[in-house]
Amino acid sequence: MKILDVLQLETIIPELTSRDKKGILEELAAPIASLTGLHHPDLVRVLMEREQLGSTGIGDGIGIPHGKIAELDRMVVGFGMSRQGVDFDSLDGRPAHIFFVLVTPEQSTGQHLKLLARLSKMLKNDLFRKKLMTAASRDEIHAIIQSEDNKN
């Protein structure tokens, strides 16, 4: 499965404005809730509950918040960029700038893990991260992700 199989253009946010973790999750959840018909506060709650188990800030300026929702019938990925960076309780203690949010149906554990692994692998590429950080628009971000997605 490719990232662009589940990432829609409308779930890409080129300029996140929140300065804290909950605000970032609220921003990232908004287009996903709109696209899927999920109740926005419920989606934020699921993402926050997952964060309480352990931060999804994996270091190197990356956060991959994720959660499972019973009412969802397909996997959905969103993307957001925080140019100023946000304290996301990352493993390396540094601010997070690049966020991929992954929301999956409860029964899709295998696909959920495969998608997380694919994202993690892509995000280990320094050049990919640098390109994302300099992208100016939703379309440019989409093209950068597509280019990296097609390599694997």
Please compute the mean of the pLDDT values over residues 46-66 and round it to a whole number. Answer: 95
Q: Concatenated DSSP letters for 72-96? A: --S-EEEEEEEEEEE----TTSSPE
Domain assignment of residue 21, given as a range = 3-149
How many angstroms separate the CA atoms of 15 and 89, rounded?
A: 20
- Percent of the chain at pLDDT > 70 equals 99
Catalytic residue, chosen from 39, 40, 66, 142, is: 66
Q: Is 97 a catalytic residue?
A: no
Please compute the mean of the pLDDT values over residues 101-126 and round it to a whole number. Answer: 89
Mean pLDDT of the chain: 94
pLDDT attached to residue 152:
64
pLDDT attached to residue 66:
94
pTM: 0.95
Which pairing describes strands 76-86 and 57-59: parallel, antiparallel, or unpaired? unpaired
109 has a pLDDT exceeding 80:
no
Please compute the mean of the pLDDT values over residues 51-57 and round it to a whole number. Answer: 94
Residue 127's nearest CA partner among 144, 102, 103, 109 is 144
* CATH number of the domain to which 32 belongs: 3.40.930.10
**Residue holding tokens 């959840």?**
29
pLDDT attached to residue 108:
82
